[in-house]
């Protein structure tokens, strides 16, 4: 039996698969926020941590459960850190576009911008993870992970999502999209951030401590039946 259910403050199915795989050993079941009728939160902030906090608080308030949120993206120091917090919408997509089409447009824009730079172009994936026990949690758990590498011009691999097919991690011969998902889940920015979360949870008493200290306020929205 699962020890806990948390709402995942994301509508990205690729991200959900990665989080579920990484947290399953802890006995955590993730429920995507759409199952509660919760729309995506606004992400107007200039930093990853502010956006992650906003998403976690929004999901907590709507679901009445502990929530897990992240904000992540790819950063190119030579571009001043861009795409950064705009990684998922770097190409300014039109409403209603599929995730795959948006990813393709984002990659095209990034590759066009770095084509005039000295090669190879250094970059890194960054992820900040927030676990919020309830919407008014004054001390959410916050951890981060960095995955350094470089950009490759030709896409390689069919796994992953986002910029994975163009991201070659330092010390690796495979892009993130060529890696077996189980391997990626051991070394990625998200894995590193979640490793920090696991360590923080262990120091605070484990997953059960999240439930003891963060019981949802009464009147939380019930999960909608499908």
Tens of pLDDT, residue by residue over 64-80, are: 999 999 999 999 999 99
Of 81, 72, 70, the closest CA to residue 30 belongs to 70
Domain contains 223 = no
Q: Which two tokens stand for residue 40?
A: 């995506």
Residue 147 belongs to what domain range? Answer: 4-213
| 21 confidence band (pLDDT: 50, 70, 90) | confident
What average pLDDT does this structure show over 171-187? 94
The pLDDT of residue 225? 37
Domain contains 58 = yes
Q: Which residues are catalytic, by number? A: 71
Residue 207 vs residue 98, higher pLDDT: 98
| 6 confidence band (pLDDT: 50, 70, 90) | very high
- The mean pLDDT of the chain is 88
Domain contains 149 = yes
Q: Which two tokens stand for residue 19?
A: 């989080």
| 211 confidence band (pLDDT: 50, 70, 90) | low
What average pLDDT does this structure show over 110-115? 97
The pLDDT of residue 209? 62
Residue 22 vs residue 49, higher pLDDT: 49
Q: Quick check: 92 pLDDT over 50?
A: yes
User: What is the number of domains present in the chain?
Assistant: 1
The pLDDT of residue 1? 39
Mean pLDDT lowest for which of 13-17, 176-180, 198-202? 13-17
Question: Do 75 and 82 contact (CB within 8 A), yes or no?
Answer: yes
What is the percentage of the chain residues whose pLDDT exceeds 90? 67
The pLDDT of residue 160? 86
What average pLDDT does this structure show over 203-225? 51
Q: Which two tokens stand for residue 222?
A: 């019930």
CATH number of the domain bearing residue 51: 3.90.950.10
Catalogue the E-assigned strands of the chain.
4-8, 28-32, 67-75, 121-132, 141-151, 167-169
Domain contains 224 = no
The pLDDT of residue 164? 97
Residue 160 vs residue 174, higher pLDDT: 174
Of 133, 100, 132, the closest CA to residue 13 belongs to 100
The pLDDT of residue 203? 82
Full 3-state SS string of 128-167 = EEEEECCCCCCCCEEEEEEEEEEECCCCCCCCCCCCHHHE
Residue 42 vs residue 82, higher pLDDT: 82
Domain contains 137 = yes
Domain contains 132 = yes
Q: What is the CA radius of gyration of the chain?
A: 18
Q: Quick check: 206 pLDDT over 70?
A: no
Domain contains 226 = no
Domain contains 220 = no
In the three-class reduction of DSSP (H, G, I as helix; E, B as strand; rest coil), residue 109 is classed as helix
The pLDDT of residue 218? 37
Q: Which two tokens stand for residue 102?
A: 């948006």
């Amino acid at each position: 039996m699962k020890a806990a259910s948390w709402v995942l403050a994301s509508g990205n199915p690729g991200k959900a698969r990665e989080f579920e795989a990484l947290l399953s050993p802890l006995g955590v079941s993730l429920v995507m926020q759409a199952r509660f009728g919760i729309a995506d939160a606004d992400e107007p902030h200039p930093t990853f941590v502010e956006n992650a906090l906003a998403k976690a608080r929004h999901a907590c308030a709507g679901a009445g459960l502990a929530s897990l949120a992240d904000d992540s993206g790819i950063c190119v120091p030579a571009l001043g850190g861009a795409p950064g917090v705009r990684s998922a919408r770097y190409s300014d997509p039109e409403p209603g576009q599929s995730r795959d089409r948006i990813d393709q447009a984002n990659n095209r824009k990034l590759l066009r911008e770095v084509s005039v730079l000295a090669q190879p172009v250094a970059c890194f994936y960054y992820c900040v993870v927030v676990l919020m026990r309830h919407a008014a949690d004054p001390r959410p758990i916050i951890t981060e992970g960095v995955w350094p590498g470089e950009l490759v011009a030709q896409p390689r691999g069919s796994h992953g999502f986002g910029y994975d097919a163009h991201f070659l991690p330092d010390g690796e011969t495979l892009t993130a999209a060529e890696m077996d998902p189980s391997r990626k889940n051991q070394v990625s920015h998200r894995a590193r951030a979640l490793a920090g979360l696991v360590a923080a949870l262990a120091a605070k008493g484990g997953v059960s401590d999240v439930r003891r200290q963060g019981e949802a306020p009464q009147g939380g929205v019930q999960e909608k039946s499908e």
